Amino acid sequence: MEIVVLKFGGTSVGTIEKIKKVAEIISIYRKKKYKVIVVSSAMSGVTNELVKKSRQISENFSEAEYDSLVSSGEQVSCSLIAGRLIHKGFKSRSWLAWQIPILTKGIHKNSRIYQINKKKIIQYLNQGGIPVITGFQGINEKDRLTTIGRGGSDASAIMLAKFFNAKRCIIYTDVEGVYTTDPNKLKKAKKIKVISYEEMLEMASLGAKVMQPVSIQDARLNRIDIEVKSSFINKPGTTITKRSNIINNKIITGISSTHNDAKVTLVGVKDKPGVAATIFKPLSKNLINVDMVVQNISPNGKETDLTFTIKSEDLSKTQKILKENTSINYRKLLFEKGVSKISIIGVGMITTPGVTYRMFQTLANKKINIQVISTSEIKISVLINKKNSKEALAALHKEFKLDK
């Protein structure tokens, strides 16, 4: 019998009725003669409530205790799923990370799984059992519970699929799959049948909330094919796989947009070696993620204007850090909210000339001004005024025939 890993997200186990539905889905795979390993997130909203409680206790709540606290949410959902499976006549039980064990390395709140002891689970599967395993967590070398970042249950499922050599790894969520763009922003968005790891990684990094970027990276490194599908509607989902498995005649696979960006510009920075590092080092130390970066050198080569983007919620902290940084000299400091990043993603642009022109001309035809440009091998991102983002999204979606 082949092994299948089924992961259920927080919305899929958000209520007792939904958990009963999850048990029905699991039973279907058992009837198809699969050995089933189940991974579950906490019920939707539970982790946020636990985080809130930790902040009420202390502004500097222990990170080790934070992991112990928030990991309890998965214990509840796994117990409920196992209980329902037992009710339906199956042999099942919940497994906590330390009982297997799932071993992690790294800091609390953001560890990574590096080893899973298979012996107990294999034995249980061979006895006809359905193990329901807590996602999002493991234990470190000190036997302390660790968590692997928000959304980490996806990574748990992927690593379980790797270590148990699973035939399939299916991520059940509240959407039918991955779409060409956010269907809440554009009604003409279409479900993507197959997408490459690289494209999905870019889309996840740029704001697509179907999966966390670290989970996609784990799948890519370990060559684990993933199917993303809805736990509420019985329809085919989206398969995430390697490029060579995909036959696609579309140049662009998807378009993403963000709406919580801010632009920072340092005008007249004294240009000298190491100045950029001097600017960005304190931001990095304060865990402020810098995204798009553009530098313009003055004709005399002595000054530069440096522009970069950050999340809007980091703006006040960034202002304070830059103003207190006496190691840099500049003439003016400019800040702007109300900007949006629009990105087109697709491996097809590697071999297709003219994609950049088509994107820029499409925006020009709509009289949408581009403020900042950033590119990679399979992505072109532009920063525009937030008020134009919906129109830009629709125009680009049509230009690259994603609505067909």
DSSP string, 69-108: HHTHHHHHHHHHHHHHHHHTT-EEEEE-GGGTTEEEESST
Residue 104 · residue 141 · CB < 8 Å: no
3-state percent helix, strand, coil for the chain, nearest multiple of 5: 35, 30, 35
Q: List the domain boundaries for the chain.
A: 3-174, 257-399
- Please report, in tens digits, the pLDDT of each residue of the chain (404 residues total): 799 999 999 999 999 999 999 999 999 999 999 999 999 999 999 999 999 999 999 999 999 999 999 999 999 999 999 999 999 999 999 999 999 999 999 999 999 999 999 999 999 999 999 999 999 999 999 999 999 987 789 999 999 999 999 999 999 998 899 999 988 888 899 999 999 999 998 888 776 667 878 888 889 998 999 999 999 999 999 999 987 777 777 899 999 988 889 999 999 888 788 888 999 999 998 989 898 998 887 776 678 889 999 999 999 999 999 999 888 888 899 999 999 999 999 988 888 899 999 999 999 999 999 999 988 889 999 999 999 999 999 999 999 999 87
3-174 homologous superfamily: Acetylglutamate kinase-like (3.40.1160.10)
Strands 35-40 and 3-8: parallel
Q: How far apart are CA 76 and CA 64, in angstroms?
A: 20
At residue 31, φ and ψ (nearest 5 deg) are: -65, -25
Strands 3-8 and 168-173: parallel
DSSP 167: S
Closest CA to 402 of 200, 227, 181, 193: 181
Number of CB atoms found within 10 A of residue 57's CB: 12
Q: How far apart are CA 189 and CA 182, in angstroms?
A: 7
Q: Between 72-87 and 46-57, two packed helices, what is the crossing angle to 10 degrees?
A: 150
Q: How far is residue 54 CA from its own chain's centroid?
A: 24
Strands 35-40 and 129-134: parallel
Structurally, at CATH architecture level, domain 257-399 sits in 2-Layer Sandwich (3.30)
3-state SS class at 252: coil
Number of CB atoms found within 10 A of residue 365's CB: 10
Type of residue numbered 266: L
